[in-house]
A and B are shown apart, each in its own frame.
Chain A
Amino acid sequence: GAGVSQSPSNKVTEKGKDVELRCDPISGHTALYWYRQSLGQGLEFLIYFQGNSAPDKSGLPSDRFSAERTGGSVSTLTIQRTQQEDSAVYLCASSLVSGLAGGNEQYFGPGTRLTVT
C-alpha cells in the first residue's frame, strides 16, 4: 500500500514569508509526527498527534511554528515569518499506537527540503 507522502518535496522561500508543508500519513495510522533534520544533524522532534487527543507541541522551537491535523488524517505544518535558521528537511512520520504497547514503528515520509533565502 501507499506509504507516507509529503509535499512539496522542495520549497525555496524568501525570509519573512510563510510556508505550509503537507503530510499524508499511512491510512489507518492514528499517530502522526513532525521532525526537523538540519544538514548532517539528528531528528529533532517538533509535534505529535495521537487520535483525538490534544497534540504534544513540546518540540516546536517558537510560536512561528504550528501544525494541524484535520479529520485525523492529513497534517499541515505552518512556519510563519520564515528565518534562515528554519532551513532544514522536515520529515513526517506515522504509526499505529497501542495504548498498552506505547511506541511502535514509525514510517517516515520522504521529507520536504525547505530553503529560506
Chain B
Amino acid sequence: GENVEQHPSTLSVQEGDSAVIKCTYSDSASNYFPWYKQELGKRPQLIIDIRSNVGEKKDQRIAVTLNKTAKHFSLHITETQPEDSAVYFCAGGGSSNTGKLIFGQGTTLQVKP
C-alpha cells in the first residue's frame, strides 16, 4: 500500500544552524507533497507544499526539494530559531485526483539557543 517514510525521527541543532528532514514515498502517482508543523498540544499547520511539476520551492527560511525519479523530498530550514522547535510531518498524496494524504511518522526538531 501507500507509504511515506520520514527521517530522522529526532533532530537537535544549534540556533542558527540548518536542519534537513527527508521523506520517501512509495506511490509513484503521488503529485502533492505538503509539510506540516505541529507545536506541542496544538493542531498541525501547513508550512510549505510542493507539487510534482516543480523541483524546488522556497519561502523565506524554508525550502522543499522534490526528486520524482527517486521518490524523495526534503525540508530545509536555514538559520534555525528556537521557535522552530516542533514536530514536522511530511505527507504525500494527490494521486487519482484525490485529496487523500499519507503522512510520515514525524520528526521532532529541537533548536537549542
Contact of A33 with B99 at beta-carbon distance under 8 Å, contacts A43-B44, A105-B49, A110-B43 already known: yes
Give the docked Cα–Cα distance between A95 and B49 (Å): 14
Q: Smallest distance from the beta carbon of A75 to chain B beta carbons, Å? A: 14
Chain A residues, Cβ within 8 Å of B93: 102-103
Size bracket, chain A contacts: 20 to 34
Taking a contact as CB atoms under 8 Å apart, the answer to whether B105 and A103 are in contact is no
CA distance A38 to B58 in the complex (A): 31
Contact B98 A56 (CB under 8 A): yes
Which residue of chain A lies nearest to B90 when distances are taken between CB atoms in the complex? A42
Q: Give the size of the chain B interface in residues (CB under 8 angstroms).
A: 27
Q: Within 8 Å CB of A91, what residues of B?
A: 43-44
Contact A42 B104 (CB under 8 A): yes
CB pair B103 A106 closer than 8 Å? no
Task: Please name all residues of chain A whose beta carbon is closer than 8 Å to the beta carbon of B89 when the two chains form the complex.
Answer: 42-43
- B49 cross-chain contacts in A, Cβ below 8 A: 103, 105
Q: Which residue of B lies closest to A32 (CB)?
A: B99
Is the CB–CB distance between B101 and A99 below 8 Å?
Answer: no
Which of A48, A103, A106 is packed against the most chain B CB atoms within 10 Å? Answer: A103
Q: Does B28 contact A (CB under 8 A)?
A: no
Give the B-binding residues of A (Cβ under 8 A): 31, 33, 35, 41-45, 48, 50, 56, 58, 91, 95, 97, 99-106, 108-111
Q: Which 5 pairs of residues, A with B, have the shortest CB-CB distance?
A: A102-B94, A103-B32, A103-B94, A43-B103, A97-B99
